[in-house]
Amino acid sequence: MARHYSIYDVFTDQKLAGNPLAVIFDGEDLSPAAMQAIAAETNLSETVFVQKASNPAHSARIRIFTPGRELPFAGHPTVGTAVALAERAYGNNSGGLDLVSVLEENVGPVRCAVKLRDGEASFAEFDLPKTSTRYELALDRQGIADALALKSTDIGFENHVPSVWGAGVPFVMVPVHNLSAVETLDFDSQLWERIAPLCEGMLTSAYVYCRGGVHHAAKFHARMFSPDMGIAEDPATGSAVAAMSGAIHHFDGLPDGHHPLMVEQGVEMGRPSYIHLHIDAKDGEISRARIGGQAVRIASGILDL
C-alpha cells in the first residue's frame, strides 16, 4: 500500500535545523508492531502515524513512536503534525490563516492553534494536556554528575536541584551551574541506566539545563539524553519543556501572571531549536501552560508498505 509522508524540521524556521519529524498520513490500518518497525526505519527521534479521530470534531488521532517505543505525548510531534495537517489541507500560500485543531494523543486530546503565513515558516502552539507534576523520587547527585562527566559542584544552581517532573512523560531535570558545563558534558548512557530512577514503568531520561543560552533571547539552554527511547541526544524535546515548566515555577517561585520563556536546545548537535514556553500562574499554581514553535517541510514522498 502506498502511504504518503512528509518530513518536517520542527522548532525552527530553517531547513536542516531543529528536530526532524516523519509524519505518516495514512496510518489507519498499521499494527503497533508495524508502526514501531517503521519508526526504527526512519530512525528519527519521533515518527507520527495519523489516524482517523474518534471524535468527528477533532482533526486526527496520532500515534507517536521513537525508535525504541511508543510515547503517550510529545511536543515536537504535536507541533509538527499540527502544521503538517494544516498545510496539507490549506497549503502554505493561503494568504494567512489562523486555525484551531485538536489532536487525539494517548495522553488525551491536545488543543493546537496554527498560524499559516505566506513566505514564513508555519507556527503551531498547544495547551499542555497535563500540568507538570513532581515525582518524589530519590536521586543520586554524585551518580548524575558521573554520568555527565561533571563535578558534583556543577550540579544545581540557585534554588534548582535535580528532581523528576512530568507532564505526560517523566524526566530527570538536571540543573547545571553554567553554559560551559552544559556544552562540554559527556553523557555516559551505561552509567545513566544504573542510576536513573524508573517512573511510570519507564527509565527516566535526562534533561540537562542552565540559565541563559547562545541565542540572546534564550532564558534556558538545554540538552536531552534518552537511552530508553533509543535517542542518543535529542535536538528538541517539547515534552521535556512541558515537564520543565513545573520545575521553573517551583524553583523560581514565579509570581502570579504570564511568563513567556524561550528554551534553546540542539545547539551542540548543530541543530539549534527554539521552543516557546508560556506559563500562566495564579494563586501560586500553574493555571495554564503552552508550548509552541515553527516547522518547515523538507521532504514528501510515498512509503511502499
Active-site positions read: 46
Q: Which of 294, 264, 248 is nearest to 83 (CA)?
A: 294
- The alpha carbon of 89 is separated from its chain's Cα centroid by a whole number of angstroms, namely 24
- Measured CA distances, 140 to 74, 196, 200, 206, 253 (Å): 27, 8, 19, 13, 24
* β partners of residue 19: 10
DSSP 160-207: B--EEEESSSEEEEEEBS-HHHHHH----HHHHHHHSPEETTEEPEEE
Q: Are 182 and 223 in contact (CB under 8 A)?
A: yes
Please report which helix (H) or strand (E) contains residue 156, including its range: none
- The alpha carbon of 207 is separated from its chain's Cα centroid by a whole number of angstroms, namely 11
The residues, any chain, with a CB within 8 Å of residue 186's CB and separated by 6 or more, are: 148, 149
